[in-house]
Amino acid sequence: MMRNYLIIAESGFGGVSLGYNICTRLSDNIIWFFSENPLTVKRIINSYNTKPKIQSFSSRNFNIANLNEINIILSKTIDTYRGRTSVYLSLISELILVHGLEKTYLFLSNLMNKVEGKDGAVIGLMVRHAQSVRDIVLISRLFSDIFHLETEFNDGKPELKLRSEMPINEKFIFDVYYSEYRIELPGEIMDYIARAEDG
């Protein structure tokens, strides 16, 4: 069974780009449902050297208030891929705002069962402070690995830290670097993801 990853981050490109990077580590096939500005998504994709087979769906082009529509899009799209597929949901916070916690939880649970049945993985993003701690706790229980992308300021310069809720090589906190719209995963995180998917 593949792992599922949840990222909790401030609003902005950082968490979105981190999630996309993880997707590219998991498979060459990506289905991405997003609510970010399409130009931001394009810039993130173009900032990476990898060129996966990706189909992206903006909330501007489907009805975010209709969970059945998302399910139909996913079912039709995932059947066009061969091999493992990463399904990236960078709009979990928006789903909670529109549908509430209970409906979003059930939707994600059913979606994960569908994706895992295809030997795929789900990568989710939640925006910190966009929902209650209670909401984050319940949604996070659906995911095997949870990462918090946090910003610290040193002499006025932002420094990114990645905090894992699970120990990785007996560590919980890792330095993260970025260039333009690209977030560099620490080597230990990349090795951890590779070992998890191979094993």
Distance, CA of 56 to CA of 96 (rounded, Å): 20
Through-space distance between the first and last CA atoms of the chain, rounded to whole angstroms: 9
The total domain count for the chain is: 1
Distance, CA of 175 to CA of 160 (rounded, Å): 6
Which residue range(s) make up the domain with 154? 5-198
Order of strands, sheet of 53-58, starting from the edge strand that comes earlier in the sequence: 53-58, 29-34, 86-89, 121-127, 5-9, 145-154, 157-168, 171-179, 182-184
Q: Which two tokens stand for residue 149?
A: 């992308």
pLDDT per residue over 16-42, tens digit each? 999 999 999 999 999 999 999 999 999
Rounded to two decimals, what is the model's pTM? 0.92
* Chain centre to alpha carbon of residue 8: 9
Q: In 10 A of CB 11, how many CB atoms?
A: 13
Q: How confident is the model at residue 1 (pLDDT cuts 50, 70, 90)?
A: low
Position 158 scores a pLDDT of 78
Read off the amino acid at residue 35: S
CATH number at residue 183: 3.40.50.300
Distance, CA of 187 to CA of 123 (rounded, Å): 19
